[in-house]
A = this chain, B = another copy of it.
Amino acid sequence: MEIYEMSLGELDRGLEAGTFSLNEIFQSLVSRMEAREKVTQAFVELDIDRVRSEIALIDRHGRATSISGIPFGVKDIFNTRDRVTSYGSSIFEGYQPVSDAAVVSRLRSAGGVVMGKTVTTEFAYFFPGKTRNPHHPDHTPGGSSQGSAAAVADFMVPFAIGSQTAASVIRPAAFCGVIGYKASVAQFPLNGALTLSYSMDSLGFFVRSPEDLCLLRNVLLGVSPRAGALKPRKIGLVRTPYWSELDSESQSAIETAGSDLAESGIEIREVEVDGREGVDLVDAHQIVMAFEVSRSRAAEYENQREKLSDQFTELVEAGRQISFQAYEQALKQRDSANQRLRTELGDYDLFLTASAPGEAPKGLSSTGDPKFSRAWNLIGGPSVTLPAGKGLTQLPLGVQLVGHFNKDDDLIAHASWIQQNIQLGTSN
């Protein structure tokens, strides 16, 4: 196993055991980067010498946390005080914030080293950046956290920060074949990060192991690391009203996971969340998102519309057409779904569902369909996508595990158990 293939936990243990040094980790990641970045283009820009000297400084002072001296990727919607932050938009070309985003600051003060800013779609919405899927350069890596997903998948950093408002962590993680975690709304500070939807934006991480999510939550929130994996007792299998839009390999990955989980003694029941009583949570999500984006990004739309993509302009204009009553109605649908998850579905440990419609589509002009995360994102709880083998064209698939609001640690512990005990996806 190459060093660059290791998870954060493996790196930390290797460093503590003296198996390799911080400099060897850095060299291993840089060699991988030199081989791959030209094709994958995960980073906005790189300054390897600066990273080297930051790591050397930490090496001299000694490591204090599990991430000390470890390089990571930062989606370019998070402010950095010493690197340009452009939010994927020409409006902010060359913009240099005065402070780090809160999560970046915390990771750095714990010794983490910013390897570089990773490519984002324009304002974390649809208009894509330059990043390509590490598994096939003619395919999208997904979006909006495309550079972060690809940088981890292509072994250029062990972890990277992303964010999600519709499917911006779960989808690119699934398309790139890595673990993605989208946190409950307001689990982490998002100040110093671009706002899209003030009721739905969430922090996310791309990692190689569920354990790494615990390490990061320990550094950022002080969560005590758990005793590892936790076997779920009851799981809801959610086909969604869009089951027929999933490719058959993705359907099979979910169904097989369901029967394997049942075989291991876990109670599995099919449940509906979206699509009940005529309520379309995907629609509700789109209403909330467009309404809020038209308010949050008012300044760019009002003052520099000519520098916005057609997609973004259409989103803002759609949001301006939505009445406050329609917006309120969508929030009420969210509240009802949430209430049902707390009560009627409260004894389900998690929900097993699709991460994306299938493999990453061909072409770089679109980042794929976010539909399979919209309803969950509206509800606001945590999600984890786990790699689930490959599809027909040998590109990665994922399955999504959804937890209860603010029970992120339970979800991560369950995801850890599932990853260790269930063979996800076909073995091709």
Contacts and interface: CB of A to CB of B under 8 A. Distances in A.
A365 interface: no
A199 interface: yes
Interface in A73-132: 81, 92, 95, 98-102, 105-106, 108-109
A109 B300 CA distance: 11
A192 B191 CA distance: 9
A406 interface: yes
Between A98, A298, A300, A328, the greatest number of chain B beta carbons within 10 A of the residue's beta carbon is seen for: A298
A198 interface: yes
15 contacts: A92-B98, A99-B299, A99-B303, A100-B299, A102-B299, A106-B295, A106-B302, A109-B298, A189-B292, A189-B298, A191-B195, A191-B198, A222-B323, A223-B324, A331-B406
A302 B109 contact: yes
Contacts of A106: 295, 298, 302
Interface string A198-237: 1100000000000000000000111110000000000000
A423 interface: no
Contacts of A81: 299
A36 interface: no
Contacts of A98: 92, 95
A243 interface: no
A208 to B, nearest CB: 24
Interface string A306-335: 000000000000001001110110010000
B221 A295 contact: yes
A102 B189 contact: no
A188 to B, nearest CB: 7
A266 interface: no
Contacts of A331: 406
Between A198, A325, A327, A331, the greatest number of chain B beta carbons within 10 A of the residue's beta carbon is seen for: A198
Contacts of A100: 299
A185 to B, nearest CB: 9
Contact of A222 (B292, B297, B324): B324
A256 interface: no
A296 interface: yes
Nearest to A295: B189
A48 interface: no
Given A102-B195, A109-B302, A195-B102, A189 B328 contact: no
Given A99-B299, A295-B221, A406-B331, A198 B189 contact: yes
Contacts of A297: 102
A324 B216 CA distance: 13
Contacts of A95: 98
A298 B224 contact: no
A406 B188 contact: no
Contact of A300 (B99, B325, B406): B99
A64 to B, nearest CB: 13
Contacts of A292: 189
A57 to B, nearest CB: 15
A298 B198 contact: no
A217 to B, nearest CB: 8
A108 to B, nearest CB: 8
A246 interface: no
A403 to B, nearest CB: 14
A192 B299 contact: yes
A341 interface: no
A236 to B, nearest CB: 21
Contacts of A222: 320, 323-324
A190 B191 CA distance: 10
A325 B296 CA distance: 33
B192 A198 contact: no
Given A102-B297, A106-B295, A298-B106, A221 B189 contact: no
A192 B300 CA distance: 12
Contacts of A422: none
